[in-house]
Structure 1
Amino acid sequence: MRLRRSLEVWKLGIVNYSDALKLQERLVSARKSNKIPDTLLSLQHPPTYTLGKRRTYHNLLVPEADLLTMGAELHYTERGGDITFHGPRQAILYPIISLRNIGFGARKYVENLEQTMIELALQYSVQAHAGKDGQTGVWVGDQKIGAIGVRISSGITSHGLAFNIDPDLNYFKHIVPCGIADKGVTSLRKETGGLLPTDDVIHEQLIGCFVRSFGFCDVSSKDNESILLENGGIG
């Protein structure tokens, strides 16, 4: 008999990157010891650039000091992938899930994250596809609409995906996004050319796509206020 997969969704709103990183670390530790179920963080960040564990500084095209004048931060992470940007009007999912429990390897996990974003784009009649030639993420033609950078520790995932709803794409001009110099970045707003529902609605749709892609059956959710009360803070 196939086990029913349960997922708890935390809807956090806008969270500083360093606080989200501390929260992920805490939840990964709890998930490893089976103190919590599989958990999905749904959030946005203030303007933030992040470098993966390869530390590809050359793909940051401006001095780090200049980022402060733009109102952006730079953070160093232990996720895979290259440099990327996170900001308002971007839907971010950080799954803290056990790959062993759902029988996924790393490649299958990334493919399902890609499928999550492809399905969301299709809901708006945008034909997106997975990267080619080993490139991760989701693309519309040669324009990237969704990025992926993950970490897996003892079979437990962290970090995840970022889907561009309608972020300020000018921020991407200061980096070589994901280390790919000859391709650009796009957004759902740019591809549809029309009005979109609120970010909250699109976040809910993205969560739904994730749930279907990974086969979760029992899904519960918590909002930011209840999470703060239960945990005494996010970070």
Structure 2
Amino acid sequence: MKLQRTLRACKFGIVNYFDALNLQERLVSDRKAGNILDTILSLQHPPTYTLGKRRTDHNLLVSESDLKAMGAELHYTERGGDITFHGPRQAILYPIVSLREIGVGARKYVEGLESVMIEVASLYGVNAHPGKAGETGVWVGDRKIGAIGVRISSGITSHGLAFNINPDLNYFKHIVPCGIPDKGVTSLRTETEMELPEDEVLHEQLIQSFAKIFQFGVIQWKQDGPFLPTEEIT
């Protein structure tokens, strides 16, 4: 009899990007050592712009001082992908999982993350789809609703996806989102005529979709609570 794989789901509220990055790094080390199960972090960030490892600063259209004036941070990361924005009312999932154990390669993993957002959008009557060649993420027509940027180290994933529930889309005017010019950005709230549930419900639906697509039989929910930079998840 095949054993069901377990996914630990840790839900937080709004978390500073740097604190979330430090937590991911600790969890990646623990996952490599076999000290923890596959884990997924679900959270939101305060207004934050992040650049991927290609360092495409030219896609940031304002100065860092302008960002500070508007209350936003800028972070350089080692994930794939181009520049993107994170903010309140945007669902962030950071999976820390072993690709070897779930039996998929990097490309299939990214396609799975796309499928997660597409499936949840469909629950609200929104027909989302993967981007064309060179257009990462998930789209509604020519408007981007979900971004993907991942890092894989020794077969262990980090970073992940950002799904726009109802963020302030004006923040995207200050960048070339994901390095793709002449394309718009949208949100679930903008695209649906249905009433949306609380953000927490959307986060849970994304986690459930992730578990289904990557064939986790059990979700082990961690009790909600305030995020602390020194918090250990064991």
TM range (shorter): over 0.9
Q: Secondary structure at the match of 1:225?
A: coil
Are 2:22 and 1:19 equivalent residues in the alignment? no
- The Cα of 1:133 is off from its aligned counterpart by 1.3
**Contact 2:150/2:158, CA 8 A, preserved across alignment:** yes
**Contact 1:20/1:234, CA 8 A, preserved across alignment:** no
- The Cα of 1:35 is off from its aligned counterpart by 0.1
Higher helix share: 1
Rounded to whole Å, the distance in 1 between the matches of 2:146 and 2:20 is: 19
Rounded to whole Å, the distance in 1 between the matches of 2:150 and 2:208 is: 20
Are 2:78 and 1:86 equivalent residues in the alignment? no
Rounded to whole Å, the distance in 1 between the matches of 2:63 and 2:230 is: 36
Rounded to whole Å, the distance in 2 between the matches of 1:89 and 1:183 is: 21
The corresponding residue for 2:97 is 97
Over 3 Å counting, the alpha-carbon distance change for 1:3 and 1:102 in structure 2 is farther
- The Cα of 1:200 is off from its aligned counterpart by 0.8
TM-score, structure 2 length as denominator?
0.96
**Contact 1:19/1:234, CA 8 A, preserved across alignment:** no
Q: Please, which runs of 5 or more residues in structure 1 have no aligned partner?
A: none
Over 3 Å counting, the alpha-carbon distance change for 1:234 and 1:181 in structure 2 is farther
Q: Secondary structure at the match of 2:43?
A: strand
Q: Please, which runs of 5 or more residues in structure 2 have no aligned partner?
A: none
Are 2:212 and 1:212 equivalent residues in the alignment? yes
The residue identity in structure 2 corresponding to 1:186 is T
The corresponding residue for 1:233 is 231
What do residues 149-180 of structure 1 show as CA deviations (whole Å, max 9, x unaligned)? 00000000000000000000000000000000
**Contact 2:124/2:194, CA 8 A, preserved across alignment:** no
The corresponding residue for 1:124 is 124
Rounded to whole Å, the distance in 2 between the matches of 1:23 and 1:7 is: 17
The residue identity in structure 1 corresponding to 2:99 is L
The corresponding residue for 1:200 is 200
Rounded to whole Å, the distance in 1 between the matches of 2:67 and 2:39 is: 32
What do residues 95-125 of structure 1 show as CA deviations (whole Å, max 9, x unaligned)? 0000000111000000000000000000001
Alignment of 1:168-179 (within 5 A): 168-179=168-179
Rounded to whole Å, the distance in 2 between the matches of 1:17 and 1:226 is: 15
Aligned length: 233
What do residues 175-219 of structure 1 show as CA deviations (whole Å, max 9, x unaligned)? 000000111100000001453111111111111111111110011
The percentage of counterpart residues that share the same residue type is 72
Q: Secondary structure at the match of 1:160?
A: strand
RMSD of the alignment, in Å? 1.6
The residue identity in structure 2 corresponding to 1:57 is D
- The Cα of 1:37 is off from its aligned counterpart by 0.2
The residue identity in structure 2 corresponding to 1:6 is T
- The Cα of 1:55 is off from its aligned counterpart by 0.4
| Stretch of structure 1 that moved more, 200-209 or 143-152 | 200-209
- The Cα of 1:65 is off from its aligned counterpart by 0.8
- The Cα of 1:227 is off from its aligned counterpart by 7.1
Rounded to whole Å, the distance in 2 between the matches of 1:24 and 1:105 is: 20
Rounded to whole Å, the distance in 1 between the matches of 2:76 and 2:200 is: 28
Alignment of 1:122-201 (within 5 A): 122-201=122-201
The residue identity in structure 1 corresponding to 2:221 is S
Which stretches of structure 1, 4 residues or longer, exceed 3 Å deviation after superposition? Answer: none
Rounded to whole Å, the distance in 2 between the matches of 1:227 and 1:179 is: 31
Over 3 Å counting, the alpha-carbon distance change for 1:32 and 1:24 in structure 2 is same
- The Cα of 1:13 is off from its aligned counterpart by 1.2
TM-score, structure 1 length as denominator?
0.95
The residue identity in structure 2 corresponding to 1:233 is E
The residue identity in structure 1 corresponding to 2:152 is I
Q: Secondary structure at the match of 1:133?
A: coil
